[in-house]
């Protein structure tokens, strides 16, 4: 079997996994609506590693759509430093884990329930694991199951699950229904991104990657940076767009690639940051949607994604692009993205 076979299949199969996830979520609509944001002091998302970064984006999306206070913390912080996490009042905790058996997440959920801090919703991919039985509502998404260590299909599938929560709680039924368009859009993105991913991944003159994303997209930038580290052992860091001007830009050189996950709302300002990095001699990859404001300068690379979907729900389309770049980088370095160095599928303490 060739190196990276599982990872490659899991990246490419995401549109089908998303379709399967939506079929699971539709019958759960009323169960999800039972947990209304106004009944809680805060909505708290948690996970470990990739799913913590998922939690960052899920919390941002939930707060943007519902107006409720939504935050994200690593599961270890809920367990070890609860005084920093839980205000007075009732919390809705949403715990996300691919395996459903990550030690920190289980510890966090058990202590949350023992201390009667509120209600628990879990999202995972395996039905017979401990987390899948702990919540008042347990959402199991088997189409996200993976054989690779580094999460790709699982991450986007679980993220889609949290997107469904946010769209339903917001009362924006049109956004929930629009999720049905994501599988087709994802297939188009995978096809259009293949050439760019191969070109970047196989370029041996690149020695560092910076992923820029703001708002809902910051957690996604963190996750894609992690994928680059895990799969290819490359120097990779995430930043908010404008924060990159404050110190980190000192690392920009002709061997650096700055990859921007641009929005439509703030696309002009984000594009100005990319222009600054071009002026400093860096190479820029401008990932944006067709209706995002275009900067007057031509970046080193530009990939325009389909813009038929509302911005709140289409950010998931950035994930297959970044995952494929990391995958190609790993292969170019002779590494096996299926089995990253020092990593295990499940972390158990």
Q: Is residue 347 part of a domain?
A: no
Q: Is residue 340 part of a domain?
A: no
Q: Is residue 278 part of a domain?
A: yes
Distance of alpha carbon 281 from alpha carbon 338, whole angstroms: 34
* pLDDT, tens digit, 9 for 90 and up, residues 252-304: 999 999 999 999 899 889 999 999 999 999 999 999 988 777 776 767 888 88
Q: Assess contact for 211 and 225: CB atoms under 8 A.
A: yes
Residues 157 and 205 in one domain: no
Residue 222 has which token pair?
A: 């963190």
Residues 29 and 159 in one domain: yes
Residues 227 and 143 in one domain: no
Residues 192 and 281 in one domain: yes
* pLDDT, tens digit, 9 for 90 and up, residues 38-93: 999 999 999 999 999 999 999 999 999 999 999 999 999 998 999 999 988 999 99
Q: Is residue 345 part of a domain?
A: no
Q: What is the mean pLDDT of residues 135-149?
A: 95
Helical H segments across 5-102, by residue range = 5-12, 14-25, 29-33, 50-66, 75-80
Q: Assess contact for 46 and 209: CB atoms under 8 A.
A: no
Q: Round the average pLDDT of the chain to a whole number and report it.
A: 93
Residues 246 and 312 in one domain: yes
* pLDDT, tens digit, 9 for 90 and up, residues 167-206: 999 999 999 999 999 999 999 999 999 999 999 999 989 9
Q: Is residue 33 part of a domain?
A: yes
Tally of domains in the chain: 2
Residues 155 and 31 in one domain: yes
Give the structural domain span for 298: 183-332
Q: What is the mean pLDDT of residues 206-225?
A: 97
Residues 111 and 197 in one domain: no
* Domain CATH number, residue 242: 3.40.50.10490
pLDDT of residue 1: 55
Distance of alpha carbon 209 from alpha carbon 212, whole angstroms: 10
- Dihedral (Cα; 13, 19, 20, 23), 10-degree rounding: 180
Q: What is the mean pLDDT of residues 330-341?
A: 83
Q: Assess contact for 225 and 237: CB atoms under 8 A.
A: yes
Residues 67 and 99 in one domain: yes
């Amino acid at each position: 079997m060739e190196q990276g076979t599982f990872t490659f299949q899991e990246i490419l199969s995401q549109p089908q996994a998303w379709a399967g996830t939506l079929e699971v979520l539709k019958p759960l609509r009323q169960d999800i609506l039972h947990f209304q944001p106004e009944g809680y002091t805060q909505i708290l998302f948690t996970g470990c590693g990739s799913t913590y970064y998922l939690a960052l984006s899920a919390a941002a999306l939930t707060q943007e759509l519902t107006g409720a206070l939504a935050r994200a913390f690593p599961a270890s912080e809920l367990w070890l430093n609860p005084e920093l996490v839980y205000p007075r009042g009732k919390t809705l905790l949403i715990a996300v884990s691919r395996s459903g058996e990550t030690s920190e997440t289980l510890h966090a959920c058990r202590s949350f329930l023992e201390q009667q801090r509120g209600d628990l919703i879990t999202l995972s991919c395996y039905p017979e694991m401990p987390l899948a039985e702990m919540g008042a509502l347990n959402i199991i998404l088997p189409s996200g199951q993976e054989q690779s260590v580094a999460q790709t299909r699982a991450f986007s599938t679980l993220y889609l699950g949290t997107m469904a929560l946010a769209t339903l709680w917001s009362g924006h039924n049109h956004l929930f229904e629009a999720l049905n368009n994501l599988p087709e859009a994802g297939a188009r993105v995978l096809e259009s991104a293949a050439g760019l991913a191969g070109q970047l991944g196989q370029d041996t003159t690149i020695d560092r990657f910076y992923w820029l994303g703001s708002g809902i997209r910051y957690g996604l930038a963190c996750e894609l940076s992690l994928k680059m580290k895990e799969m290819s052992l490359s120097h990779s860091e995430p930043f908010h767009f404008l924060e990159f001007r404050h110190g980190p830009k000192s690392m920009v050189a002709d061997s650096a690639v700055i990859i921007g996950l641009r929005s439509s709302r703030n696309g002009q300002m984000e594009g100005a940051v990319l222009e600054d990095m071009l002026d400093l001699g860096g190479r820029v990859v401008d990932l944006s949607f067709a209706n995002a404001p275009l900067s007057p300068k031509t970046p080193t690379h530009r990939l325009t994604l389909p813009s038929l979907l509302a911005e709140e729900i289409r950010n998931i389309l950035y994930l297959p692009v970044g995952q494929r770049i990391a995958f190609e980088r790993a292969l170019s370095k002779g590494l096996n993205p299926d089995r990253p160095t020092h990593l295990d599928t499940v972390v158990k303490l």
